[in-house]
């Protein structure tokens, strides 16, 4: 397919215009016009782009791209090498950040909710005016059972603070570094809140407010959206899509 056709489709599917983000969503580095092979991954890196070259990719589609408003990097060292690899090999780079966190079908949080068996999935969580997660309902499941599913399907090393009720019904999920949004989960009277990272204040707050808190890893919680989106593109269009897993313990 044509690069611009793919860009238009992804921008509309993920409703990019609804979001105020930390960097540009969509095409971040322009490559060749025709796209037959797409590599998907969580984060842009030299290692990823070298793998994309090996796989003869025409485009790379990631959650974390190379352009961020809060970094404004000088293109030297690793950043220079990333851009150099893309430009020299004429590879397109597409990146979708908050839109891929929030999407109710292909988003990170929605994909995790389905893995946890939640139903009645609704938007949840405000981050600077953007709805970035979901909430759902469990069928009166014990917290131990949900913890086991998280360890098995998301991250065996997930950090778990079991301070909520024995039976779980109301669960909120925001992938990545959304530990501060625990306060919103408390205000929403949720039984459990799942995100990627934890800060020092989290343990005491969760304990005092009697809510289960799960930090299942920033990378681990943000694999699922890009994988689901890639699977969708492979089924809908005449393109080959391959997910490249570059694990990150954070």
pLDDT score at 57: 98
The number of domains in the chain is 2
Q: Same domain for 168 and 192?
A: yes
Q: Is the pLDDT of residue 43 over 90?
A: yes
Which of 96, 113, 135 lies at the terminal end of a domain, its last residue?
96
Question: What long-range pairs does 78-83 form, CB within 8 A, spacing at least 24?
Answer: 78/45, 78/46, 81/46, 82/44, 82/45, 82/46, 82/49, 83/29
- Section 52-73 average pLDDT: 93
Q: Is residue 173 part of a domain?
A: yes
Cβ proximity of 242 and 40 under 8 Å: yes
Number of Cβ within a 10 Å radius of residue 167: 13
pLDDT confidence of 121, banded at 50, 70, 90? very high
pLDDT score at 230: 98
Helix (H) or strand (E) holding 89: none
Cβ proximity of 36 and 217 under 8 Å: no
Q: Same domain for 196 and 146?
A: yes
Q: Same domain for 110 and 79?
A: no
Q: Same domain for 207 and 137?
A: yes
Q: Is residue 167 part of a domain?
A: yes
- pLDDT tens column, 126-176: 998 999 999 999 987 899 999 999 999 999 999 999 999 999 999 999 999
Which of 96, 129, 162 lies at the terminal end of a domain, its last residue?
96
Cβ proximity of 124 and 173 under 8 Å: yes
CA angle 182, 172, 61 (to 5 degrees): 100
- Section 15-37 average pLDDT: 96
Mean pLDDT for all residues in the chain: 96
Q: pTM (2 decimals)? A: 0.96
- pLDDT tens column, 181-229: 999 999 999 999 999 999 999 999 999 999 999 999 999 999 999 999 9
Q: Same domain for 191 and 143?
A: yes
Q: Same domain for 127 and 20?
A: no
Give the CATH number of the domain where residue 184 resides: 3.40.1390.30
């Amino acid at each position: 397919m044509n690069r611009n056709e793919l860009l238009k489709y992804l921008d509309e599917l993920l409703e990019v215009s609804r979001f105020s983000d930390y960097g540009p969503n969509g095409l971040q580095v322009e490559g060749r016009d025709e796209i037959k092979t797409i590599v998907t991954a969580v984060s842009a890196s030299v290692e990823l782009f070298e793998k994309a070259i090996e796989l003869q990719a025409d485009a790379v589609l990631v959650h974390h791209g190379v352009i961020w408003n809060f970094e404004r990097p000088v293109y030297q060292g690793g950043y220079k090498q990333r851009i150099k690899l893309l430009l020299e090999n004429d590879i397109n780079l597409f990146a979708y950040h908050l839109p891929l966190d929030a999407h109710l079908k292909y988003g990170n949080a929605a994909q995790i909710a389905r893995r946890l068996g939640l139903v009645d999935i609704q938007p949840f969580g405000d981050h600077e005016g953007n709805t970035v997660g979901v909430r759902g309902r469990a069928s009166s499941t014990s917290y131990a059972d949900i913890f086991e599913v998280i360890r098995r399907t998301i991250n065996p090393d997930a950090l778990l603070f079991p301070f909520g009720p024995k039976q779980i019904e109301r669960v909120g999920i925001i992938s990545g570094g959304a530990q501060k949004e625990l306060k919103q989960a408390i205000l929403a009277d949720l039984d459990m809140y799942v995100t990627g990272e934890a800060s020092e204040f989290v343990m005491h707050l969760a304990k005092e407010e009697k809510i289960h808190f799960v930090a299942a890893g920033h990378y681990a919680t943000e694999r699922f959206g890009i994988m689901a989106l890639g699977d969708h593109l492979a089924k809908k269009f005449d393109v080959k899509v391959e997910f490249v897993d570059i694990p990150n313990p954070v």
